[in-house]
Structures are given as C-alpha cells and as structure tokens.
Amino acid sequence: MRNGKIKAPAPVIRRLSNYHHLLLGLRQRQVQSVSSTTLAEILEYKPIQVRKDLQLAGLVGRPRTGFRIDEMEEAISRFMGWSLDCQAVLFGVGNLGSALLNYPWREEYGLRFIAAFESEEERSNILINNIPVHHISHFPTFAEEHPIDIGVIAVPAEGAQAVAEIMVENGIRGIWNFSHTHLKITGNATIENALFTQSLAVLTRRLVESRTQNSGTSI
Amino acid sequence: MRNGKIKAPAPVIRRLSNYHHLLLGLRQRQVQSVSSTTLAEILEYKPIQVRKDLQLAGLVGRPRTGFRIDEMEEAISRFMGWSLDCQAVLFGVGNLGSALLNYPWREEYGLRFIAAFESEEERSNILINNIPVHHISHFPTFAEEHPIDIGVIAVPAEGAQAVAEIMVENGIRGIWNFSHTHLKITGNATIENALFTQSLAVLTRRLVESRTQNSGTSI
DNA sequence: TAGATTGTTAATCGATTAACAATC
DNA sequence: TAGATTGTTAATCGATTAACAATC
C-alpha cells in the first residue's frame, strides 16, 4: 500500500469533495490558482485544515500563490477514483430514482448509469435520460454481460435488503443506498448510506439547541 | 443552558437517529428492552459507544435488561425536537422535491409539509401527496400567515442561493439544502446540506482503497 | 526585497475506547 | 446467588489547530 491509498478519514473525503465542486465555479471565472486562505474563507474552514486536506490528496502548493486549480481538479479526481470511468446501475425508478438518473454525475464524478431496474412492469422498458429501464428479472443476465462498479438502491425500505443481496451475488462491490434501512451484507462489498434522516436529525437538533439559548425556560 | 441543550457532536446525532429508526422494527416485534450490546451488534458500533450516545440523550438503562424501547423513542425524539410538531415548506417540485413530499416524515420525525413552491407555472396549483404546490410568487404572503420552521431547497443549483435568501428574509430559521451549492447566509439561520456528492465521494474513495490493497501495482 | 503563503513539527482538543465497581 | 449489563472514571486514539521556518 502506497501513498494516496491509505484509508482516508471520512470528514477529509467530504471536505475534499467540496473543494472539488468549488473549482468548477472558479475555473469558469478564469481563476488559475487559489490559496488555502481563500478556500477556507469561502467554505468556513480553517486555512491550515484546507492545506492538510489537500496534502492528503497529494497536492503541493506554491508559497505566495497557493494551489493551481487544474492540479487540484486532477489530484482530487484521482484520489476519489473519479478519473476512471465508473459504471453504475440503479434499482427503483420512483421519484428519487428518476432524480438520480437525471443528474449529470458523469461530468463531475465520472459516474455513468448504464441501466436501471424496476419491479413494476408499468415503469419498465422505458428510457429515463436515455438510460434504459429494465424489469428486475433481467438483472442477472445484464450483470453477466456488463461490468458494474456501483449499484444504487432507490427502492422502498422493504425491498432494499433483497436488492442489496442480488447486487452482491451478481458481483457488485460498491453499494450506494438511498433506502431507509440498515443493510446486512455478507462478503466484501462496500456500502455507503445516503441517509436523509441523519441530515434531518442534525438540522432539527441544531434548531433545538439554538432555540433554548434564547428562551431561558428549559426542562 | 441546561442538560440536553448542549451542542451535541454531529456524529452522535447521526448515530442517535439510527437507534431511533431501529426502534420501530423492534417495537413491531413486541420487544420491550434492548441492551447496548445488542444495538451495537446490529449497527456495528461498540457497546460502550452506544451507552455514551444514549446517555447524552438523557437515557438511563437498567443493569441486566438494558434500555426500554419506549423510553428510548421518547428521549431521542425529545432530544432531536421531533416531539414538537414542525412545519416545513419545500421549494422546487421536480423529481427530488416530489420524492421528499411523498415521504412520511411526520410519523417518525414530526415534520409536516404545509406547502410547496414552484417557479414554473405548469407545475404549480396542484397537489402532491395532498400538499398544495403554489407559484413561488405567493410565498411571502404565505409566510406571513403561517409559522414555518424549516425550508427545504430542492431547486437546481442556480436558483438555490436566491431561494435561501427569500426564505431567511421571510423568517425561516432552518434550511435543509438538497441543491448542489454552498449557500452564503447572512443572519442566524441554520443550514444543513444533504449533499449526495459527499456520500458518493466516500463510497468511491473506499472502492479505490480496497482495489489497491489487492492488485499490488500502484502509481 | 517584503510579504503572503506554503509545509513541517509540535500542541491541543475532542471523541472513542478500556477498565471496573455498582446494580438488578 | 451468579451473571449480564449498566454508569463512571481514566486512558487512548485520532483529528484539528498552532507556531514558525522555508519559499517564491
């Protein structure tokens, strides 16, 4: 295991993805370089933290000018695995699934949906954003014929565990779970849960905290 | 500021929301109590961590039996502010917005969407899951007439900053942002970003890390 | 050059984990 | 009672921050 392949802390990964997204805007404005001070100001981090983060992605800055935008883009993409073309499938073409299929992941993250799968016949055999939606029964055959890096779960909670299992059985190693379930996986797949509810919890708790600082009466 | 109103670390908040969701399933199976050991096993945490988390929410367990399900439900809900009825509005009724409006937030999180707002006329003046969708121009009047705790942003990135601003101008103190933008807010609003891309970054990075542990050749 | 910014090394902070007496 | 589990107190671990010489 060499440089850049160590297990990076999740908070650093999240911040790096923020820097990366900022770069798009900066580049449009023809900016060549940006300092850790400036990045920190925009994102409300500390400059030293920005430098430490970028260092982990293998970046080297220049005294006085900071970091080159194109180098940052390149280094973060490489660090995240976004430089390699990554093929994904999605299960569950409801509103959320459709939203995900319509998002331009490829441009910024190198993620390409090559197919989607649905349990309901009425929603199968259509195209969403030019991505074919098949009936779920066609999945094993499809998986044999195409290399799939990531499987996205956008089905209701009840179906999620079953979907995760057929994904793993058919060789998918990365699962991005948008359903509200704790998945139990046997084998060496990586699961990432995009739990809206965790995010909501942080928001409502912060509101509780701020409320009680003003109105003195508490429990 | 008293017990339970201190600023809780975000990781603890996220785990607490996980415990809370687990309880629903346990209660259906008529379980009365659960130990930190069992919770830890299910969620792949450490028992001591579970106890520390629950302690922060003000819970007291019993030696030998663990924590009562109903007490946990109650304590976590109170801690998160989910016991109070919380009124929300949503901006942007695309696929993602519709998905959010259709989710039963109220049952588990006490969150109730009282209206949604749209900039496109064609998608206004309809009902989604019984929630009225108004044209965005009606928002200021609406906000004067109804108390709103949380504003959800589900519009495309370009429009997000403007939406955040009219929310804050009209008295909303909590913003749940699903758009891919870094919002700049003046004043004392709380913003929580539900950034899918951060989650994707963690997943793809973990895949990069696991890949290179097998195949020895690296950069 | 002067001055802003970097990378390095050390210090601090906070969160997680360990150990164990107390409890039912 | 015996034994599982709690809550407390202390130790460890890791991430963030500070200080500052090196650099362009």
Instruction: Dump pLDDT digits (tens) for A7-35.
Output: 999 999 999 999 999 999 999 999 999 99
Q: Would you state the pLDDT for residue B216?
A: 42
Greatest CA span in chain A, whole angstroms?
64
Considering only CB atoms, which chain A residues are within 8 Å of B192? 199-200, 202-203, 206
User: Is the per-residue pLDDT at A111 higher than 50?
Assistant: yes
Quickly tell me which residue has 């809780």 as its tokens. Answer: B8
Q: Which residue on chain A is closest to B182 by alpha carbon? A: A43
A5 touches chain B (CB under 8 A): yes
Find chain B residues with C-beta within 8 A of A94's C-beta: 99
* Nearest-nucleotide field for B66 (CA, C1'): D5
Tell me, yes or no, if A186 comes closer than 8 A to chain B by beta carbon: no
CB-based contact A182 B22, cutoff 8 Å: yes
Chain mean position to CA B64: 33
Closest approach of A60 to chain B, Cα-based (Å): 17
In B37-189, at which residue ranges do the beta strands (DSSP E only) sit?
67-68, 86-91, 111-118, 126-128, 131-135, 150-153, 174-177
Q: So where are chain B's domains?
A: 10-80, 86-197
Q: Which of A95-104, A141-150, B187-196 has the lowest mean pLDDT?
A: B187-196
Cα separation, A90 vs A93, in Å, equals: 8
Q: Backbone dihedral region of A17: left (phi > 0), alpha (psi from -120 to 50 degrees) or beta?
A: alpha
Quick check: B99 and A102 CB within 8 A?
no
DSSP A166: H
pLDDT single digits (tens) B178-205:
999 999 988 889 999 999 999 999 999 9
Do β-strands B131-135 and B126-128 pair in parallel, antiparallel, or remain unpaired? antiparallel
For chain B, helix (H) and strand (E) counts, in that order, are 9, 9
**Tens digit of pLDDT for each residue in B64-80?**
999 999 999 999 999 99
Q: Is A192 on the interface with B (CB under 8 A)?
A: yes
Q: Is the CB of A62 under 7 A from strand C?
A: yes
The average confidence (pLDDT) of chain A is 93
Mean pLDDT, rounded, of chain B: 93
Residues of B in contact with A172 (CB under 8 A): none
Is any atom of strand C within 7 angstroms of residue B37's beta carbon? no
Asked whether this chain's domains B10-80 and B86-197 adopt the same fold, the reply is no
**Average of pLDDT values for A155-174?**
97
pLDDT value of position B136: 97
Which residues touch A20 (CB under 8 Å, ≥6 apart)?
Answer: A72, A73, A76, A77, A80, A108
CB proximity list for A131: less than 8 A, separation 6 or greater:
A101, A113, A114, A115, A116
The stretch B116-120 carries a mean pLDDT of 97
Of A200, A166, A165, the C-alpha closest to A183 is: A165
Distance from the Cα of A202 to chain B's closest Cα (Å) equals 6
How far separated are the first and last CA of chain A, in Å rounded? 53
Residues in chain A with CB shorter than 8 Å from the CB of B210 are 173, 188, 190
Structure tokens of A15?
């911040």
> Shortest CA distance to A8 belongs to which of A52, A43, A66?
A52
| Subunit contact B173:A17, Cβ cutoff 8 A | no
Give the CATH class of B86-197: alpha beta
Mutation for A interface: B12, B207, B211, B219, most A CBs within 10 A: B207
What is the mean predicted confidence (pLDDT) over A143-149? 98
Q: Give the closest-approach CA distance of A35 to chain B in angstroms.
A: 18
Return the closest-CA partner of residue B154 out of B102, B85, B204.
B102
Question: How far does the CA of A201 sit from the C1' of C17, in Å?
Answer: 25
Q: Is the CB of A72 under 7 A from strand C?
A: no
Buried b (16+ CB within 10 A) or exposed e, A176-193: bbbbbbbbeeeeebbbbb
Pick the CATH number of B10-80 from 2.60.40.10, 3.40.50.970, 1.10.10.10, 3.20.10.10: 1.10.10.10
Q: Write out chain A residues lying below 8 Å of B4, CB-based.
A: 218-219
B201 strand C contact, CB < 7 Å: no
What does the block give as tokens for B210?
Answer: 């696991």
Residue B218's pLDDT band (cuts 50, 70, 90): very low
Q: Which two tokens mark B135? A: 């044209």
The answer to whether B195 contacts A8, with C-beta atoms less than 8 Å apart, is no
A34 strand-pairing partners: A67
A54 CA to chain B: closest CA distance, Å?
15
Q: From residue B163, how far is each of A142, B139, B160, B183 by CA, in Å?
A: 42, 11, 5, 10
